[in-house]
Each structure stands twice: as C-alpha cells, then as structure tokens.
A and B are shown apart, each in its own frame.
Chain A
Amino acid sequence: MKITKPLTERLVTTPGNGATEPVPMTPPTPGGAVQHEIMADGVCVLTFDCPGSSANVFNESVLHELDEHLGIIERDERVRSLVLRSAKKSIFIAGADLHALSTSVEAPADTPSPGLADFIELGQRVFSHLAAFKIPTVAAIHGACVGGGMELALACDYRLASPDKVTKLGFPETQLGILPAWGGCTRLPKLVGLPTALNLILKGKPVQARKALKLGLIHGTAPKERLLELARQWIRRGKRLASRKLPVLLTNHVVAARVIQPYLRTRLMRDTYGHYPAVLKALEVTCQGVGLPEHASLKNERDAILLLANTEPCHNLMRLFFLQERAKKVQAATGFSLRPAPAAAAGTKRAASLVQECPMKQAAVIGAGVMGAGIAHWLSSRKLPVLLRDLNPKAVGRGMTAIHNNYEDAVKRHILTRTEARAGYDRIFPITHEGSLKNVDLVIEAAVERMDLKKDLFFKLAMETGPDTILATNTSALSVSEIAEATRSPERVVGIHFFNPVHRMQLVEVVVGHHTDPEVLERTVRFVQQIGKLPVVVSDSPGFLVNRILMPYLMEATELFTGGAAIEDIDGAMLEFGMPMGPLRLVDEVSIDVAHHVAETLALHFADRMSTPTVLKSLLAAGLLGKKSEHGFYRHELKTPEPNEAIKMFQSPGRASRLSRLDMQRRMVLLMINEAARCLEEEVVTAPEDVDFAMVMGSGFAPFRGGPLRYADSVGLSRVVHELQQEVDMGDAYFTPCSLLRRKAQNQETFYPQKGVVV
C-alpha cells in the first residue's frame, strides 16, 4: 500500500510561548485518512479522519498510512511528543474494518487465511512500532474508541478521554466471535491488572470515560476542546513507567493467572455451555500472556484469531452484526423485500415529503397495560412526548407506576441520570377520555386483544386524528388488515409489534396490511429507527414472524411436559442448545394467559399442525398465570425460580418421559426450523436473513447458531427433512416438513447461497 497524497507537515508558529495557545488545525488532506502537524512546542498532533465517512476504521491502507506517518514523526528531530486524536464528531476509532475482516474470513474452510494473517500481523507491527516510541505518546479520545481503536490507545503512554456520552471505550471483539489480537490481550492486563482486563475483554461491554478512569483504563478526562491542553500536562511527566499499583502487580502474575484461569473457565462453561469459543480463547490468551514476553503473547493472539475466524459462531455473529447495522439504516422500500406494494394511494406526493421531514414529534399510546406502558416509557426515554391514554384513571395510574419503575430501574443501573429519568417521565402526558389527538404524528394502540374492540377503537381514532397521522396497532396475533378495514382511512393503518419487555427487546415487527400505503410504511420504518429499535418488515399473517415460529416450539415444550418430561430437562435441553432461557420459563415470563391467547389464535389458522396445549388451559383454569401471579411452570416467589412441583398432576406420562434431553432438543428445534421455512415459503418475509435476524433479536434464538434457517443449513437440509419425517413416522403428523424444505433438500440447496459471512 502506498500513500497516494503527500503528507502535510507544517511548522505552526504561534505568538508568545506557544505551549498553551490553542493551535489551529491543519486543513484535512483530501484522500488521506491520517494527517499530522507539529506545533511550536514540539507536540506532534496526529489526526485520524477517514475521508467520506463519519467513522474512522482500520483497514490495510489506513494501517500502512499510519505506519508511514509514525516513521516520519520518529525521524523528525523537532518532535518531542505525540498526541493521537480524531476529527470525527462521535468516533475516535471504531476498530478494524469488519468488512475487511470478514472478507479475509471467507477463505476456504479449515485453513488459516493468508489475507487475515497479514492483516493481523500488520496491525500488531504498527502498534508495536508506536509502543516503542522514545517520546511520550498520548491518545486524546473523544467518541467511540473500541476494538482496534482501543488497542491503538493501549500502545500509547497515556490515554485521556472526554467525559462525553459518545465516548465509549472497550473491547467488543468477543461479541463478534473473535478476540483482541492487535495487542489488546497482551497490553491490557499490564495496565489495569488481570481481573479488570478479563472483565473488559470477556464481557465485551464498552465503558464510559468516568468508569474507564476508575478502572485505570485512562489517566484523565477533560472536555473535548481541552483534551490537547490536558495532553500537554501529561506529556511533561515523560514516558510512562510500568504500573506500580499494588492490585495490578499482585494480579498480573503467573501465579494469579493460574488461579484465575481455571476458575473463570468453569464459570464460563457453566454459563455458555462452551458455545462461544472466542470467550474461552480470549481467557486463555490473556492469562497466558501474563507470563510471556510480548512477542510470544502477540503470536498467541494471532494464532487464536486465525483459528476463531474460521469457526461457525464467528461467521454467524458477524453476519448478525451486519444485519443489525443494516436494520438501523435500511429503508422499507429498498432494503426489505416485500410483496408487490398495493396500488399507490393518491396523495403520495404529500406523504413523500412527510417521509423527508421526519422525525415524529409526538406520539400517542392507547392502553396503559404492560405493553402500552412499556412502549410509552421507551418512546419518552427516546425524547418523544407521548400521550398515554386509557379508559380510566386507575388503568392510567397502573401504567404510570410501571413507567416510573422502569425509570427508577434505569437510574439504579446507571443507564440514566436522575435528571434524565425525570425528564423522560415528564414527557408522558397521561390522559383518559379528555385528551386531544389532533397534534399527534403516530398512534400506537396497545389495548386488549379483541377484534371487536380494536375495530371500534380504530374507527374512532381515524376520526380523532389528522389526515397524516399513522395509526398503528401493537397486536401480536390479530389481522392488521381487518382492523384497517373498520376505518375510513385504512391506508394509514399499520402494525408496529414490540416485544416484551419493550426496553430490552430491540426488534420491532412492522406489519404491512393489505391497504397500508407505501409511504406510511416508509415513515413507520423510519420511526422505529428513530426510537433506536431494529425494524423487520413482515406481511400481515397470523402471528406475523417471531411469534409464529416461536409458538410451535413453546407448544412442543408444553406437550413434552404433559407427556411426562421434567421441566428442568425440557428447559435444560434448550439452554444447552444456547437459548438464553428455557421454553417453559419463557412461557411463564410472557404469562400463561398471553401464551394461551396467541396459541389459540394460531391454532385457529393452522389447525393442521397447531392446537392449544391442554396444559395451558389447565394452568389458566387453576389461576396459575406464570411470573405475574408468581406461579406457573416455575415458582417465581423464590429468589431463583424453581420448577413448580405442584403442577405434576397435569402430566400424563407417555413417550415424552422416555426421551433424552437431546431428543427433546431436536424435536423443539425441528419444529422451529420447519415453521421458519414456512414463513419464507409464504413470504411473510422474503429473505432468510430476515427470519434469522428477527428470531435472534426478537426471541433470543442462540445467536452463535445464526438463526433457525442458518442452523438448518449447517445441519444440512436433507438431514433436517429426514429427521422431521422420522417424527411423522412415529405418529406425530405435525412434524410434516413443508414443501420448501423438501424441495430444497431434494435439490441439495441451502437457504443461504454460500458459506461464510454474506450480507
């Protein structure tokens, strides 16, 4: 790689002593991602500014460019110290370019890709170059400083950061199935001690500047305009010596590492069932690095990432990351494949301008129940004023209490300050019948799931609101089109399906009714992005996407229970598969009555393969509603819920009691795959990525498996069909494989075109 433009290098002479004067920035060199300038006092400021992007990332060319700059700076005798900074508004350096990484990943299976090895070694070499500088070096961090960015900062003597909300520091590598391989695993323990280092690397959760200071990750904070000034103060101390802090010295020791490593390994195996090799590998490399010379530890990092990059979990996690990024930006019309749009309504021009002028300024939520309150809370926390309406003060009051508790919780978890929480709560306008909806851009209905009530409600809502107001229903199973037909303006009606709990679940299903205007859809997708959720556009069919795929799985879990299987075995089977929560526990969480309602609705439409599980009816009749009534499949009044022994009377032991955990796991997963394939077949969504993305984000489907369809691909579709057929032969007709699966198996096709990360 050659640098295409000459480096700008300029001696800035400032009047006076120069040392503390603010210095004008060099005009960015067009084409270059890195520039440097030398101040009168010998401070060299190196600025990252990748052209044509709001982010700085490391790819091969940027690394080469940086290396050349470092070489020039090193040889320049005027330079007494080096400060690294970014010209971007909210990003210091966002790490390695994942696209560069993922293309390197796509080498033939099981052989370390030479491209990736070069890329890793290059980064290690450049950062080591920086670390070996004889002059003091400072990273002046404003904005996200993660992954490779953080590793660059680690190669400096000092790290200073702005106490801004956008400034986040951390190592998210393990979340993508890899590990910090540009010296992160090697250098971090030396700075903060082994336990803190492992905490940052294994959890992959970035921290804010204040926390980073406490952890010893950075040396000081100053507002972004004053970072350079603070850097000068630190430069005066000269090169940084190795940490002499007692906790660092004590834990950064081979003996300590020998104790910590097996202990953490056991805990990780227990929590993740070994499904995430990157975490285990990162633990190993980091702990071993403590006793090794730097070059040996760096080699360990390199070997580890080359190994990990070829694993299925890494490919799947990367793909999901890209899908997430896509969902944040995508436009409904272009990004999501939809059925042919209904004939464009008149007035499309006006609506088009509305799409332009987004964002929504005020919303209304009808119904202050669990979902209504959860939605209102979320919108208000994203700075949107929300009218929260219910039939009477009592109902509104319950919702307000729930919202208040959500905010209190956020304060306790340090997600929001007390002032921010109060401002959010202030944005809720609680009303009963007397409120006016005429200024509202969007109404989200989250009332009782009864078609007659909803029709009546939407008929009125259409008249109470302005002609451009979007009317959305949060129904989880009823037909959006049927609701729309009850109004005088069905083109404004759309589905916005949030998942419970709203503030935790990132996915939102945007449901297109038969009459939904394309512009309304476009604005709705934008709205979902505006509030920081991830939209997936689905067609109006029973259960939409996530619930529809989830229900056969949950029903099977309850049937297995009825058939005599133990609760801990059923849930255990799926935890071992990689689900965050067992199916019966999940039923308790969503509550038995809601699960029953969804099951009934789906059973009505898909009578050939679904029926309402009898045990749900029995539990409902016995008043056992799950978590909200403290008793269901589990006893939730205990600190860690335990299986409810009292409901054994609803069991009538049969074949299920003889199934192994693996057998049960297979049955439950097969049903999910089959239903997921059906959704694709019926074009609820058109791309397998949409199904998988929605299932991971909306139901927590084991992320490292990539989603049900990706998992089916990895198992092999002919085997999937064969196993389904086996269950049919055993007498369970509801396992009949759908025609798409059968066809693809026959033609030896897969859902995804090829192996590796394809987006």
Chain B
Amino acid sequence: MNTQLLAIVDGIRTPFRKAGTDFAKLGADELGRIAVNALLARTGLDPALVDEVIFGCVAQPADAANVARVIALRSGIPESVPALTVHRNCASGMEAVTQAYEHMMAGRGEVFIVGGTESMSQVPLLFPSSAGDKFARFNKAKSLPQKMQALLDFRPHDFNPRVGLLLGLTDPVCGMNMGQTAEVLARELGVSREEQDAFAVESHKKALEAATRLAEEITPVYLPGESPVVNDNGPRTDQSPEVLAKLRPVFERHTGTVTAGNSSQITDGAVALLVMSGEMAEELGYEPLGYLKAYAYSGCDPERMGLGPVLAMDRLEESTGMNLENADLVEVNEAFAAQVLGVLKAVKSEKFSRKVLGRRTPLGEIPLDRLNVNGGAIALGHPVGATGARLILTALKELERRQAKNALVSLCVGGGQGGAVWLERSI
C-alpha cells in the first residue's frame, strides 16, 4: 500500500436543494452536521480515531464561526479533536480534501473527516456601514434626548440592505460579477447562446437519468413534521433549447448570452468524506472508494476565472505526467455553461496553449462522453463550499460503477484560480 496516497474511504452528502426551498432554515453547520452524522453511522467509525475535521465553507455563518468545529462537536467527535474551516472559494470542498492530504504527509494525523457545506439561503443581508455607525451612536447614547437625537439621524438609505450573496459572487479586485466573467469567456472564445443552452439542457438530462445513481451518495434529511428529503431538486424535466431561449440574459441585458438557465443554481447542501492514510484504511478493514493521487491549484486572470481548470490541469500534467487521455472520467464544475465550453475550447486550442500556458502543444481534448456524466452544477446546483467535495464523491462512485481507473476533477474558482485533482480507484 502506497502511503503517498490519501484513501477516500467513503462519502455521503445531503440532497442538494435550491436555495429558499426545503433547507432554507438550516444553517451551514446543521447541513454539515447531518452529512457527518450520516457518514459516521454508515462507516461505523469510532469518532475517537479522528485526528482532525476539515470543512470547506464560503459564506461562513455569523452564528457558527469556524463552522467545521461546530460541525465536529455537534456530530459527537471528541472535544480533543481539532477542527478547521478552509476557504478557497468554489474549491473550498476540494481544499478540505487536499489539506487532509498535506496534514497526513506532514505527519499531522492519519484519519480525517473532511467535506464542504454551504447554506446559500442563509447568506445574510447586510446593513450599510453608514447604518452601523448610527447604531453604535444610538447604543452609546445615555439619556433619552440623546437617544432620540441618535434615532433621528437615521435616513431611509441606511436601511437599504446589501445582499451578501451578491457581494460574495462579485470579485472585489476586478469588480466583475462571476456571470460577467463568464460573458468575457463567451465573447473571447466565441461561445454562442445556443451552445450554452444546449449544454445546459444536456446537464439536466444527464442529471435526471442519473437520479438513482446519485441516490447512492445521498442521505435522507429529516425535517420535523415533513416527509424526508431524499433527492436533489435542481434537475428540471421541462428543459429544452426552446424553453431556455426565452430567458433574458442576466449580466448583459441586451447582447449577453449568460442566463439563469445556463448558469449553475444557487443551492444549499453539504458533503462529508472519510479520508485516511492507505495503511490506516487497511488496518481498520475499510475498502476505500479510491485514492487522491495528485492535485494542483493555479492562479489566473480574475476576469477570466472560468479558465482556471485549464491552468490547474496544465500544472498537474507537469507534476504527474498524466494527461487528458489518461482520464476515464472528467469533471469540470459547471459554474456557467459558457465557462465549461470555454474550457473545452481552451484545452485543445494551440493558440491558448502557446500564449497563456507557454506550451507547444495543447492539453488535448475532453471527450463529451466522459465529461460530467451524471450532470453538473447547472442541474444539480452549486453550494459553493460543498461542490468540490461533491465532485470527488460523484467521480469516485462513477469510477466504481464503470470499473474504470482514473478521474480528473476540476473547478474554476472565483477570484481567478483553478483546482484539479487526479483520483484513482483502488484496484
């Protein structure tokens, strides 16, 4: 058994539910807890064996700081086990896995519970800072007249909320919304509205067909007084190019191509994975789903963050020598159809390879029959902190079903990054 590999023993996730639906009242800590609770129950792991809990979360809840610690304690992991929350935007769930690998390699533990959690329903509305100052003044005021005066200082615009979700999806450096960066790719790489819509329809179709396969990675969520939530509610049965064509572009009113229909959905959900050294897995008698073989993160132009996967794949090829041809399955997270289609074009473009990656030959080609075979975030949704872990779980389960060996899993990351990992099924 190669100790250089991190064994991914098992994983489970909550259903992914559109924001504002069934899970609207569950915080990120509760979603994460439910996933870890189910993971512990199905693996029968003695929680005392856990060395660390690492969870990815983007919009960390104000009422559960270091959400990983909250999840760990609420799941019955012993108090002595440390926990940390990681944030690499859309790759946070992947970051949790790769951090576990690094901690293992550094000799800082052998058994980890990792994953990602996100409640996009509960990203708060924020008061503008002008209101904050006035609240502070009101609180400091001692006498009634002073309090009255402080109250009178408020103006209607002080109560205009700033939508946290919108702020989170806007790059503070280049000032662009994520959707706008997708429009940049669509323009520069020539991705048409029709191509995007067709891709989106396909994602829904694949996800719907995969419903029973995806059920294998889902644990029911029990909401008091309601029937159990057992499946994703993102995939739509009524998607067709005609239906999608009717939607108006969101980010460029008149000439844009990116619509709500060909973008990922805003979703609540959590994923939990049990990972450990290969030796430990053997000792405990587990048959891992597979192994984390190698990974890479790479930075890129924030305005073209959607191409991040290409740069990460390039870096990964450099360190492993494995290329796209070795991949039995490829996951490119579907932040936007325009962005995935941009990636597909960039990996085979000589010009892109030369100019951006500085290499003579392109990375190769990603065959569509190996790409996102069970649908992607356009259909299933993209709870940002959880998606990275979900892609790894879905890919490993699919490798098993196909009796295939290698999977390449990648995401684009807001702020201009890409992440990619090689997974290998235990053979």
Contact = CB atoms under 8 A, between A and B. Distances in A.
A732 B222 CA distance: 53
B227 A438 contact: no
Contact of B44 (A393, A432, A436): A436
Interface string B205-248: 00000000000000010101111101000000000000000000
Interface in B365-423: none
A308 interface: no
A438 B42 CA distance: 10
Interface stretch (B33-41, B58-66, B298-306): B33-41
A397 B228 contact: yes
Q: How large is the interface on A (under 10, 10 to 19, 20 to 34, 35 or more residues)?
A: 20 to 34
A434 B12 CA distance: 11
B222 A387 contact: no
Contacts, number: 59
Nearest to A364: B41
Main secondary structure of the interface of A (DSSP, over half): mixed
Nearest to A438: B44
A396 B75 CA distance: 19
Nearest to A426: B74
B43 interface: yes
A318 B11 CA distance: 56
Contact of B220 (A397, A423, A437): A397
A321 interface: no
B33 A426 contact: yes
Nearest to B48: A361
Nearest to A422: B74
B46 interface: yes
B227 A431 contact: no
Interface stretch (A98-106, A328-336, A400-408, A519-527): A400-408
A401 B224 contact: yes
Contacts of B225: 401, 404
A42 B74 CA distance: 49
A399 to B, nearest CB: 9
B76 interface: yes
Contact of A437 (B44, B46, B226): B44
A400 B222 contact: yes
Contacts of A400: 222, 224
Interface in A436-480: 436-439
Interface in A411-439: 422-423, 426-427, 429-432, 434-439
Contact of B42 (A394, A404, A426, A436): A436
A385 interface: yes
A434 B42 contact: yes
Contacts of A438: 44
A426 B41 contact: no
A426 B76 contact: yes
A387 B224 contact: no
B41 A435 contact: yes
Contacts of A431: 38, 41-42
A658 to B, nearest CB: 49
Contacts of B40: 429
Contacts of A393: 220, 222, 228, 230
Contact of A396 (B44, B46, B222): B222
Contacts of B46: 439
Contacts of B230: 393
- Central interface residue in A396, A401, A437, by most chain B CB within 10 Å: A401
A435 B76 contact: no
Contacts of A426: 33, 37, 74-76
Contacts of A439: 44-46
A423 B74 CA distance: 7
B42 A435 contact: yes
A394 B228 CA distance: 6
A560 B74 CA distance: 53
Interface in A368-385: 385
A62 to B, nearest CB: 41
A744 B290 CA distance: 74
Given A385-B76, A396-B228, A401-B225, A429 B41 contact: yes
Contacts of A434: 41-42
- Central interface residue in B41, B42, B225, by most chain A CB within 10 Å: B41
Given A393-B228, A396-B222, A397-B222, A427 B76 contact: yes
A387 B41 CA distance: 7
Nearest to A434: B42
B12 to A, nearest CB: 9
Contact of B41 (A397, A405, A423, A436): A436
Interface in B42-82: 42-46, 74-76
A439 B43 CA distance: 10
A397 B220 CA distance: 9
A438 B46 CA distance: 10
A396 B220 contact: yes
Nearest to A423: B74
A437 B44 CA distance: 7
A601 B33 CA distance: 43
A422 B75 CA distance: 11
Contacts of A387: 41
Contacts of B76: 385, 426-427
A499 B117 CA distance: 40
Interface string B94-128: 00000000000000000000000000000000000
A442 B262 CA distance: 52
A427 B75 CA distance: 7
A427 B38 CA distance: 11
A299 to B, nearest CB: 57
A506 B388 CA distance: 49
A430 B228 CA distance: 11
A430 B12 CA distance: 14
A116 B161 CA distance: 74
B111 to A, nearest CB: 15
Given A426-B37, A431-B41, A431-B42, A397 B227 contact: yes
B37 A429 contact: yes
Contacts of B45: 439
A394 B74 contact: no
Nearest to B12: A434
A747 B44 CA distance: 61
Contacts of A432: 220
Contact of B222 (A401, A422, A437): A401
Interface string A617-645: 00000000000000000000000000000
Interface string A115-146: 00000000000000000000000000000000
A436 B286 CA distance: 12
Interface in B9-46: 33, 37-38, 40-46
Contacts of A394: 227-228
Contacts of B226: 397, 401
Contacts of B37: 426, 429-430
Contacts of A429: 37-38, 40-41
Contacts of B41: 387, 429-431, 434-436
Contacts of B43: 436
A142 to B, nearest CB: 26
A397 B227 CA distance: 6
Q: Which 7 A-B pairs have the closest CB atoms?
A: A436-B44, A404-B224, A400-B222, A393-B228, A393-B220, A397-B228, A429-B41
Interface of A: 385, 387, 393-394, 396-397, 400-401, 404-405, 422-423, 426-427, 429-432, 434-439
30 contacts: A385-B76, A387-B41, A393-B222, A394-B227, A394-B228, A396-B222, A397-B222, A397-B226, A397-B227, A397-B228, A400-B224, A401-B222, A401-B226, A404-B225, A422-B74, A426-B37, A426-B75, A430-B37, A430-B41, A430-B222, A431-B38, A431-B42, A432-B220, A435-B42, A435-B44, A436-B42, A436-B43, A438-B44, A439-B44, A439-B46
Given A393-B220, A439-B46, 17 more contacts: A385-B76, A397-B228, A400-B222, A401-B226, A405-B224, A426-B75, A429-B37, A429-B38, A429-B40, A430-B41, A431-B41, A434-B42, A436-B41, A436-B44, A437-B44, A438-B44, A439-B45
